[in-house]
Amino acid sequence: MKLTYQPFELKLKHPFTIAKFSRTATPLMLLQITHDGHTGYGEASMVPYMGESVETATAFLNQVDLSAFKSPFDFSDITTYLDSLAPGNPAIKAAIDIALHDLDGKLKQQPCWQLLGSNPQLMPVTSFTIGIDAPDVIRQKVQEAENFKVIKVKLGRDTDKELIQTIRSVTNVPLYADANQGWVDKEKALNLIYWLHEQGVQLIEQPMLKTDIDGNAWLTERSPIPLIADEAVQRLPDVEKAKGVYNGINIKLMKSAGMHEAQQMIIKARQLDLKILIGCMSETSCATLAAAALAPQCDWADIDGPFLTTNNPYKNPEFRDGKYVLSDDAGLGLSL
């Protein structure tokens, strides 16, 4: 098996502002694994607040030797091997896992979604995320989102109500909200949650600091809409900790170290009666098609990555009625 990779800077249509950060581009590592005449494609999206970079990804890849693994791949063994090389590094581990899933599908001549047991009929709609911005820009972004059935808004500043009111002045589509740990006072947060509920917000991600377990649990007990752990849940062992603190979890391949562990998290969350949102970082079609292959096993999807960028190196995923359309092509169904 031959592994090749190259850094890529993914540019965003709009500077992306959330409660704590703002950025205009995201460093990626695009990765290919070739075996037996087939090439699997993977991708790491290294958003700055997660601590990975082109440098850390390169250092990790320099340690990787996949020669011991043969098709059909044992993804559980591969995950254990990658974790044995170094802790952390979930995005670059995800890139390898995604490329191997794509390759596995191509070698078996089956789409990844089928190999993972997903039913395309159950594909949820994907939300389109709008970052914090001036009202004029917000209105423009809402217009760009006309193909989406749900809009996700980034909250967590003093201007949360104005932002929602601006959106509501142009559209009535259902909303998801993400506070990105930005709410500090739980009583105030609860009042805002009731108001957001009236405004048609259907779920809220990470209301308070991930370390404030009591605060988040207090809110979940009282909230009229589901509260979802994002920053608080990265990998499989974190799923259990969400029980009793949140109503559900947000799974992202760049946190879970790939598709294999994401599916383990889905199984665990179902056992614990937790709802599941599948999300993404700033990603090309490659990583979002990998998430889309698992999305039918989740309650909600927020995999709008390629639609928020200007230089996606692949063809944009097929999208209809606000949903990804899963391809019958072998592997991820990625078109170069």
Return residues touching Mg ion (CB under 5 A): 178, 205, 230
Q: Which position's Cβ is nearest Mg ion?
A: 230
- Cβ burial, residue 109 (10 Å; 0-12/13-18/19+): exposed
AA identity, residue 215 = G
Q: Which ranges of the chain does DSSP label H, i.e. alpha helix? A: 54-61, 75-85, 90-108, 112-115, 135-144, 160-168, 186-198, 213-222, 236-242, 253-256, 259-271, 285-292
Q: Which is nearer to Mg ion, 178 or 261 (CB)?
A: 178
Q: Which is nearer to Mg ion, 79 or 216 (CB)?
A: 216
The C-alpha atoms of residue 70 and residue 80 are separated, in whole angstroms, by: 15
Closest approach of Mg ion to the CB of residue 178, in Å: 4
> Residue 286: CA atoms inside 13 Å, Cβ hemisphere, count?
32
Q: Which is nearer to Mg ion, 104 or 205 (CB)?
A: 205
Q: Which are the contacts of 271, defined by CB distance < 8 A and separation ≥ 6? A: none
Q: Which is nearer to Mg ion, 123 or 227 (CB)?
A: 227
Q: Which is nearer to Mg ion, 154 or 260 (CB)?
A: 154
Specify the residue for token string 């011991």.
68
User: Kindly report the CA angle at 303 between 161 and 279, in degrees rounded to 5?
Assistant: 75
Closest approach of Mg ion to the CB of residue 103, in Å: 30
Task: Identify the bridge partners of residue 43 per DSSP, sorted by sequence position.
Answer: 30
Closest approach of Mg ion to the CB of residue 175, in Å: 14
Contact criterion met (CB below 8 Å) for 238 and 213: no
Q: Which is nearer to Mg ion, 258 or 279 (CB)?
A: 279
Q: Which is nearer to Mg ion, 144 or 231 (CB)?
A: 231
Neighbours of 278 (CB within 10 A): 29
Closest approach of Mg ion to the CB of residue 230, in Å: 4
Q: Nearest to residue 263, comparing CAs of 288, 295, 240, 231?
A: 295
Q: Which is nearer to Mg ion, 181 or 285 (CB)?
A: 181
The C-alpha atoms of residue 255 and residue 156 are separated, in whole angstroms, by: 22
Contact criterion met (CB below 8 Å) for 261 and 236: yes
Strands 319-320 and 22-35: unpaired
3-state secondary structure of 68: coil
